[in-house]
Amino acid sequence: MAKTKTVFYCQNCGAQYSKWQGQCTSCKAWNTIAEELVQKAEKNDWKQSSLTGSTAKRASKPLKVSEIDTSTEARYKTDDEELDRVLGGGLVPGSLTLLGGEPGIGKSTLLLQISIRLPFKTLYVSGEESQKQIKMRAERISSKTDNCYILTETKTQHIFRQIEAITPDIVIIDSIQTLHSDYIESSAGSISQIRECTTELIKFAKETSTPVVLIGHITKDGHIAGPKILEHMVDTVLQFEGDRNHVYRILRALKNRFGSTSELGIYEMLGHGLRQVSNPSEILISKKDEELSGNAIAATLEGMRPLMIEIQALVSTAVYGTPQRSATGYNLKRLNMILAVLEKRAGFRLGAKDVFLNVTGGISVDDPAIDLAVVAAILSSNEDVYIPKDYCFAAEVGLAGEVRPVTRVEQRIQEAEKLGFSTIFVSKYNKLAHKPTNIKVQLVAKVEDVVELLFA
C-alpha cells in the first residue's frame, strides 16, 4: 500500500507548507493555501521501458565547455516564419516551450496548424477535445495531415506509452492543466499535478532531445495558471495576445533561453486558420481617404524587426474642469512628461486641455523613439493642422526639449524608405554612415525646430 500524506500548497505561487495558515509568507497573498493529498508511489520511470536503449548512452559526467559537441543540435524549423523568429530560429531539440493566452484566442489552432504542416513526425496530445473535433479543425486548416498523430489522453503514463510506440520528433500537449499523473493523488490542474507532469515532460525532453510544446491556461489577471515555478521550469514562455473581437493576433516571448525576448510575431485570424503577417505596417497604419489632424507615423523596432506604427492624439478643452490624460498602448507617465516639455519649452498651453493618445493596431510600445511622433500628433491635434501622410518620425525627446538620437536609426530609415515615405525626422546627433537616396532625412535638434517645420 502506497504511503499518502497531506501537503499544503499556495495556489498563487506554489510554496509548500506543512500546515495551513492564512497568509503565504512567500507571495504575501491571503487565503490561497489549500490542502492536497500527495502519494509517494513506486515510480516506474518512463525511461525504464524500451526507450532506455536510446537514453542510457548519455554520460552523466562533467565536460569542459570546449568538449561539448553542439554540431548535431540543429533547430527544428516550423515552416512558420513568425514563430521561428520569436523562438530565435526554430525549436531547439530537448527544449520545453510554454504557450499561454486567453480562451478562444487561437492557441490550439496555431499549434495544430504548425503540427500539420511540419515535415517531421508530430504527436498532438489533447486533453480538451476529441479526435473528431480536432479532425474537423485540421481539415479546415489544411489537407496535409500525413505526419501528424492525434492522441486524446490526460494520463502521463499512457502518453509516454504512446510516445514509445510512435517515437515522434515533436510532442505538443494541449494543455498542461488537463494532465495528471498516477504518482500524485490530487485533481488535474492542481499545483502538485502541474509540477509533477511538467517534471516528467522535462525529463523526457532532455533525455531524448525531443522538443515539447505545452499550452497553458491563463488566469483572469492574465498570468499563466498554476504555480509560478512552471514558468521557471520551462525554457521558453510565449504569450499569444489579441482581442477575440478583432482578427489580428500578436505572439511575443516573455522568456527565451535560446534567443531574444524582444521579437514579435503577428498573425491574422481567418476562416481557414492563422495567416502570417510578414509586413506588420499594413495593419498598424490605418488607410484614410482624407488628411486628418492628430495622426503621426513613428518608426519603431520590435527586436530585429522595424515597424511603422500610427500614433493618434486628440486634444480638446476640458469640459469638467479637471483635464483628463489617457494613453492606450503608451506609458501614461511618459505622456505627462512630454506634455510638460511642450508647455515649458515649446510654449503650448495644454494644462487646461484633455489629451487622449492611442497606438493603433492594439499593441503596446515602450520604445522611446516614438516620442517625437507623439509630440507631432499632439501638436497636430491642438493646432488642427494635419501632418502629411508621407512624413514619419524616429527620435527621443528629452526634458530640456532636445531631440535625442536613437539606436539603429539607419534600419528605421530603410524601412521608411521601403514603404514609400518621403521624409523622416531624426535627431541631428545621429551618426549616419551613408545618405539614403529615395527619402529625405530631416535633422532636428529641438522640439521648436519640429514645430517650425511642421506648423510654421
CA distance 117 to 25: 47
Under a CB-based contact definition with an 8 Å cutoff, are residues 82 and 266 in contact? yes
Q: What is the enclosing helix (H) or strand (E) of 347?
A: none
- Annotated binding residue at 103? yes
Cell representation of residue 326: 489617457
Beta bridge partners of 300: 307
CA distance 282 to 376: 21
Angle, nearest 10°, between helix axes 332-345 and 447-455? 80
Cβ neighbours for 225, distance < 8 A, ≥ 6 positions apart: 177, 189, 216, 217, 218, 219
Residue 302: how many CA atoms within 13 Å on its side-chain side?
Answer: 21
Cell representation of residue 344: 515649458
> Residues 197, 203, 206, 210: what is their CA dihedral angle, to the nearest 10 degrees?
-50
- Annotated binding residue at 106? yes
Cβ neighbours for 14, distance < 8 A, ≥ 6 positions apart: 191, 195, 226, 227, 228, 229, 230
- Annotated binding residue at 102? yes
For residue 26, with 0-12 CB atoms within 10 Å meaning exposed, 13-18 middle and 19 or more buried, which class applies?
A: middle
CA distance 339 to 356: 11
Annotated binding site for ATP: 101-108
Annotated binding site: 101-108
